[in-house]
Amino acid sequence: IEGWVGVHHLDDQQQSKNFTFKCHRDNNDIYSVNSLNFHLVHHTFATVGSDGAFNFWDKDSKQRLKAMSRCSQPIPCSAFNNDGSIYAYSSCYDWSKGAENHNPATAKIYIFLHLPQVHS
């Protein structure tokens, strides 16, 4: 909600590790967080938003690992493949600004594949 992401553990013993943070913001502009995906191998996660950005996060250190360059359109969805070697995301109009801002003549739909860097 309002560009915030919350990480909340289901195990009562880990409730002290819960946290929230701001993301997908640009000064006073707040964008929706459209998708959050966990990397099954490294236990990090990625968020995408209506600002056209995607970011990689480390939940254990509670910090952003990498902010990627923004797309010219919002990113409504994303996913890692099953071994985490490919991160796929789409870029298109996401209706966050309503029908009056949608222009079918210039609207393009893209699907991108990103190869995450693994640091050891």
Contact 74, 84 (CB under 8 A): no
**What is the spatial distance between Cα 93 and Cα 95, in angstroms, rounded to a whole number?**
6
Residue 106's H or E segment, with its range, is: none
User: Is 119 a member of any domain?
Assistant: no
Residue 9's pLDDT is 87
pLDDT, residue 89, reads 97
Number of domains into which the chain is organized? 1
Say how many CA atoms lie within 13 Å of 74 toward its Cβ.
Answer: 20
Q: Of 63, 62, 65, 94, nearest to 78 (Cα)?
A: 94
Domain boundaries, position 84: 4-10+17-114
pLDDT digits (tens, 9 = 90+) for 25-77: 888 999 999 999 999 999 899 999 999 999 999 988 989 999 998 999 999 99
8 Å CB contact between 35 and 75: yes
What is residue 118's predicted lDDT score, i.e. its pLDDT? Answer: 64
Q: Which helix (H) or strand (E) holds 79?
A: strand 78-80
In a domain, 83, yes or no: yes
What pLDDT sits at residue 56? 95
Residue 111 has pLDDT above 60, yes or no: yes
In the predicted structure, residue 120 carries a pLDDT above the cut 50: no
